[in-house]
Amino acid sequence: MTPTPIITSEAVEATMRKMLGDQRYENYVKAQRERIREEAKEEAPPIYTVSKILKTPTEISWLVENFLAPGSLAVLAGQPGIGKSMLCLHLAVCVASGRDWLGRKVRQSPVLLFDFELGRRRLAERLRAIAAGLTIPLDELEKTPLHFVQWGGNVRNERTLRAWKAAVTLTEPGLIIFDSLIDVVGDADENNSVIMAEVMSYLGSFSNDHTATLAIHHTGKASGRYRGSSAIAAAVSNLFTLAATDKAGILSLRIDKAWDYEAFRLFVKTSWNGAYTAEVLDESEQVTELTPPQSFILEQIADRKVRVADVMSLNGGYSELTLRRAFF
């Protein structure tokens, strides 16, 4: 059997030159290269030269001073019921109205909040309470560029992602808030690193030079750290933890990861008695952050008026050993 001849690229070029002539062949190759480059321009992400990078301003145009900058992807985690959604709604109102938040300067910007938790009635109630605490008349609040989407879905679903991106295009927000992270994951396992890396990548795509994205999440029952895969922390530029303290109405807002500043912690006094207020405590006040099991013990003693000895029977899902270590 005669072997199949091997056709080399050199042989093809020689044949083409013979058919077209050298000049026509060179023109043909040049045209093909230009066509390929034009197609690549449509598909390629933005490519920056060293010159363009060096011309980028190094000064940060903060959305919230020394807390949140455009381009950031952040997660705020805390135990269920601790006040994450209310504090973030307070942040949303402050950014949309241009008011300082927790003593930090704010750059007034439109806000888009994806609310998958509260519903319209509870949302209206909380907005009224926040407006009262900030002394914003309701007719003024109505004019602020604060927008809500309550149509949920899985961010990994193409139709859902396209719809949410369309909402972003229409509202042009400087701040996007997802309440909460678990609601955009769908029925996927939040402990799966591959899935969560994909989810966080999709959420990160909402951030740009003008927009920061914040997702609200839960902490683990005993650990006090964000729940789920380490891919969550790896993907974010800012990781915040909201925790209870040994004083009622005072929360610990801990910055565990920050790209643009040193990590720190604030103690925030919140009050919701008709009006909702949130303010940073003076550093001289002595406050201790509690672990989730310690917080559970104090809640049982305060709310149920049970004896310390009875707390072990109301374990809340904690092991007896965990509760003993937390208490003693």
Helix (H, G, I), strand (E, B) or coil at 68: strand
In this prediction, residues 71-85 reach a mean pLDDT of 95
Give the confidence band of 302 by pLDDT, cuts at 50, 70, 90. low
Q: What pLDDT is recorded for position 9? A: 82
Exposed, middle or buried by CB within 10 Å (0-12, 13-18, 19+), for 31?
exposed
Q: What pLDDT is recorded for position 235? A: 97
- Secondary structure letter of residue 25 according to DSSP: H
pLDDT at 312 over 70: no
In this prediction, residues 3-19 reach a mean pLDDT of 81
Q: What is the pLDDT of residues 187-208, one digit of tens each?
A: 889 999 999 999 999 999 999 9
Asked if residue 57 lies in contact with residue 243, where contact means CB atoms within 8 angstroms, the answer is no
Asked if residue 311 lies in contact with residue 301, where contact means CB atoms within 8 angstroms, the answer is yes
All residues at 6 or more sequence positions from 197 whose CB lies less than 8 Å from its CB, including other chains: 229, 231, 234, 235
Q: What percent of the chain has pLDDT over 70?
A: 86
Q: How far is CA 185 from CA 31, 82, 113, 116, in A?
A: 46, 22, 17, 12
Output the CATH code of domain 73-280.
3.40.50.300
Asked if residue 111 lies in contact with residue 147, where contact means CB atoms within 8 angstroms, the answer is yes
Cα(208)–Cα(283) distance, rounded to whole angstroms? 34
In this prediction, residues 270-274 reach a mean pLDDT of 94
* Closest among 261, 223, 248 to 67, alpha carbons compared: 261
* Closest among 207, 199, 206, 208 to 217, alpha carbons compared: 199
pTM reported for the whole predicted model: 0.80
pLDDT at 323 over 50: no
pLDDT at 308 over 90: no
Q: What pLDDT is recorded for position 223? A: 75
